[in-house]
Amino acid sequence: MAVGGLADTVYPEVGHRLKTKTVIPENHAVANAIGAASGMVRITAMVEITNPESNGFILHVGNQVTVFTNPDEVLKEARKAARNLIQQKSRSMGLKKPEIQIEEKFIRIPGTKDNEGLVSAVIRASSNVKLI
């Protein structure tokens, strides 16, 4: 089975050399174009929080860092920053309102309550972008 714009010029010879029948469907020329146009792209953004030697929570967004003393505040800002990054990337692709998914991974000191034992976190935002 051969598809693509050059299927009828290239693949008959390939089939001949392989001693097999080459099947070329009627709409072979647009088969790859349809697949490419109906594809999706996933855009992602990641921000990271670290707490080196328990001296404050450092929010890493790109090459910018901001220090926080409260773990709940740094997490709130990290989520906001990840969403903003996706919105900026989406706008640069011509999209107005992306559907954003957030994934969070934490490392906490065992036996601590809520976020008081936060050691580090990665906040990853993503959005699927349909190409047509």
**CB-based contacts of 119: which residues, under 8 Å, 6+ apart?**
51, 107, 108, 109
Collapsed DSSP state (helix, strand, coil) of residue 15: helix
**CB-based contacts of 54: which residues, under 8 Å, 6+ apart?**
none
pLDDT in tens, 56-94: 999 999 999 999 999 999 999 999 999 999 999 988 887
Helix (H) or strand (E) holding 104: strand 101-108
pLDDT in tens, 11-52: 778 777 778 888 877 777 766 665 555 667 789 999 999 999
Residues in the chain: 132
Query: And the tokens for 100?
Result: 């954003």
pLDDT of residue 94: 78
